[in-house]
Chains A and B, each alone.
Chain A
């Protein structure tokens, strides 16, 4: 079994930053009290880099997979 995520263990700061931001936005968007302004900010962030799109989709897929399993 692999003991972690190689991309992260290599310490790519751009990836780590994008990943942290993706986590923040996923948590924000899942809040039923998420405001219109926050949604606008999310799209601004998303449109600013393909890396952001990639990270957000990866995290969405990961949390969906986790959610589908009996935790």
Chain B
């Protein structure tokens, strides 16, 4: 694989920020690397930004920042151990039994969480996550207020977080 192709695939993995990349990083950097460490780094950078109020899309901004941190760690990891590319290629190319299992587990937990939701909460979650509707569209579709959409979405997100085990 060309260096450009590899870095694109690595960037894609960093963006998805999945367990495989975390494991890869963990093996290549001293000490334990996990989402909490990444959050610490993001937090430290957030504290250095003066004009946070001017940021238009906070979630996208934050996610980009987290992706950048992950990518920087990946760069450092490559410099510290240059012969890891073969393993990384295998990692990005293969759908291993382990990742399939993890995917299946995620699906099971997601379905359980959805089934346990109140019908209106489930409907709002479907319309938001599956159909990508705006809050106003959801409100119009279900005949509820925007305020209710926020409340239902909050309840649904909290339930997903409680029910699904993260890496």
Residues of A that sit less than 8 Å from B by CB: 1-2, 4-6, 8, 19-20, 22-24, 26-33, 36, 39-40, 42-43, 46-47, 50, 53-63, 65-67, 69-71
| Distance in Å: Cβ of B114 to nearest Cβ of chain A | 7
- Which residue in A5, A27, A30, A71 is a CB contact (below 8 Å) of B164? A5
- Docked Cα-Cα span, A42 to B40, in Å, equals 17
| Distance in Å: Cβ of A15 to nearest Cβ of chain B | 10
Residues of B that sit less than 8 Å from A by CB: 17, 35-36, 38-40, 42-43, 46-47, 52-53, 55, 57-59, 62-63, 66, 105-110, 114, 126, 128-130, 132, 134-136, 146, 149-151, 153-158, 160-166
The 9 tightest CB contacts between A and B, nearest first, are A54-B39, A23-B157, A27-B153, A23-B158, A71-B130, A67-B129, A27-B154, A43-B52, A53-B39
Residues in B neighbouring A57, C-beta threshold 8 A: 35, 38-39, 42, 62-63, 66
Residues in B neighbouring A54, C-beta threshold 8 A: 35-36, 39
Q: A27-B153, A43-B53, A71-B129 are in contact. Are A58 and B62 (CB under 8 A)?
A: no
Interface of A, helix, strand, loop or mixed by DSSP? helix
Once the chains bind, are A53 and B43 in contact (CB under 8 Å)?
yes
- Which residue in B58, B108, B154, B166 is a CB contact (below 8 Å) of A62? B166
Once the chains bind, are A30 and B114 in contact (CB under 8 Å)?
no
Q: Which residue of B lies closest to A16 (CB)?
A: B162
Q: A6-B165, A40-B53, A57-B38 are in contact. Are A29 and B154 (CB under 8 A)?
A: no
20 contacts between A and B (CB under 8 A): A2-B105, A5-B161, A8-B161, A19-B162, A23-B156, A27-B154, A29-B59, A30-B59, A30-B128, A31-B135, A36-B53, A40-B52, A43-B46, A46-B46, A53-B43, A56-B62, A57-B66, A58-B161, A62-B160, A69-B110
